[in-house]
Amino acid sequence: MTAIDLASPAAALSGAQKCAILLLVLEEVQAAEMLSGMSPAEVQQVGEAMLTVAEIDPLAIDHVLDEFLARTAQVAALDSQGRQLRHRLGMALGTPRAETMIEKIGPPAQGRRFAVLDWVDGPALAKLIADEHPQAIAVVLAHLPEARAAQTLDALPETLQPEVAARLATLTPVNIHDLAALEADIEAKLRGIGTRRDHTQLAGTDFTAAVIKKARGRGALLETLMTLNADLAAELEAQQFIFADLIGLSQKDMQLVLREVDPTQLAIAMKGADATLKDFIFGAMSKRAASQLQDELAERGPMKRSEVEAAQRDLCRTVRRLGDSGALTLPTSTEAML
């Protein structure tokens, strides 16, 4: 077998593209089995790569296959994830005895706990486990990557978050059988609702709002939609301009907004603003007005998130009204400027 020529059509292919080529030339059952062993991120990378290799030089395919054979010629990787071992032990010994034996053998025979949750996003997972005992929720979070654990914790009911965080911080080793029972319970719930792996989501309100935001007939479209589905129209309209979009206004337009909004509501809304946005808003004010607003912000204690978000929505409605009337130019406007 000859080595791959670096000048070949396959030389510039990424690892994901090479994997995509292999999957495309395999039988469907074999390809599905390979995909089932990948993480969600890997599946996404390879799936995107498949689109880039749909039309490719046949020589590149040959070189990728040659490279694959060369790399695996000296490898005999049988059941590196322990799946066959777990299956065969279960058949031979029965579930309880097999679990005990697998525990003694250790990784990779045990497999990674709660791996199925890789296919569930934070908000969906929070909804799934919110009715569990706080200790159980803490155990689930402890098995997630830090970013997804944080996302899930943030999506839990606010009254539940402190207790879950406290239990997470003081979590002690969990009995293997209790852990297995909790995992089975979570998986049973998932079977009832499915996961991202089982469903394909097309469009949705976020996507639709983004499309409408870039449409020239945005105002007329939302007005017509209001007669068809008022709740949906209100949800889409609310996403046309959000509080963070204020940073995209010109200083002149920001000054117009400040003249139209209630100073008290502005102070509440700014409780949820980052430093950059606060500086932008202060910069559109006189020094005296900015100083007064800064003092009011400093005097206000912690506020409920719902109150802050409500004030932000009111301010955004004012901005959208001014934009629709032509009094100011929204940063999302697609109309050409002269």
CATH number at 256 reads: 1.10.220.30
Residues 257 and 314 both lie in one domain: yes
CA distances from 151 to 120, 123, 161 (A): 12, 7, 12
pLDDT < 70: residue spans in the chain = 1-11, 37, 54-55, 69-112, 119, 192-207, 213-219, 332-338
- Considering the domain boundaries, does residue 335 fall inside one? no
Residues 229 and 126 both lie in one domain: no
- Considering the domain boundaries, does residue 10 fall inside one? no
- Residue 110: the pLDDT is 44
How far apart CA 109 and CA 82 sit, in angstroms, is 4
The last residue of one of the domains, among 150, 174, 198, is 198
Residues 231 and 313 both lie in one domain: yes
- Residue 96: the pLDDT is 55
Residues 212 and 265 both lie in one domain: yes
The alpha carbon dihedral of 60, 63, 68, 69 has a sign of: positive
- Residue 119: the pLDDT is 67
Residues 273 and 321 both lie in one domain: yes
Residue 280 CB neighbour total at 10 angstroms: 17
Domain containing 211: what range?
205-325
**Residue 201 in contact with residue 284, Cβ under 8 Å?**
no
The last residue of one of the domains, among 140, 166, 198, is 198
Residues 220 and 309 both lie in one domain: yes
Structure-block tokens of residue 42: 């890997």
- Considering the domain boundaries, does residue 334 fall inside one? no
- Considering the domain boundaries, does residue 9 fall inside one? no
CA distances from 285 to 44, 211, 274, 277, 322 (A): 47, 33, 17, 13, 19
How far apart CA 191 and CA 186 sit, in angstroms, is 9
Residue 17 CB neighbour total at 10 angstroms: 21
Residues 102 and 136 both lie in one domain: no
- Residue 25: the pLDDT is 75
- Considering the domain boundaries, does residue 165 fall inside one? yes
pLDDT in tens, 12-60: 788 888 888 877 777 777 777 777 767 777 777 877 777 777 667 777 7
Chain-centre distance of CA 170, in angstroms?
A: 28
Residues 107 and 124 both lie in one domain: no
The last residue of one of the domains, among 150, 180, 198, is 198
Amino acid at 106: G
Burial code of 103-129, b = ≥16 C-beta within 10 A, e = fewer?
Answer: eeeeeebbeebbeebbbbebebbbebb
Residues 170 and 236 both lie in one domain: no
Residues 321 and 304 both lie in one domain: yes
How far apart CA 66 and CA 218 sit, in angstroms, is 54
Chain-centre distance of CA 107, in angstroms?
A: 29
Structure-block tokens of residue 132: 């569990």
- Residue 11: the pLDDT is 63
Q: How many domains does the chain have?
A: 4
- Considering the domain boundaries, does residue 280 fall inside one? yes
- Considering the domain boundaries, does residue 4 fall inside one? no
Residues 268 and 158 both lie in one domain: no
- Considering the domain boundaries, does residue 98 fall inside one? yes
Residues 223 and 307 both lie in one domain: yes
- Residue 282: the pLDDT is 92
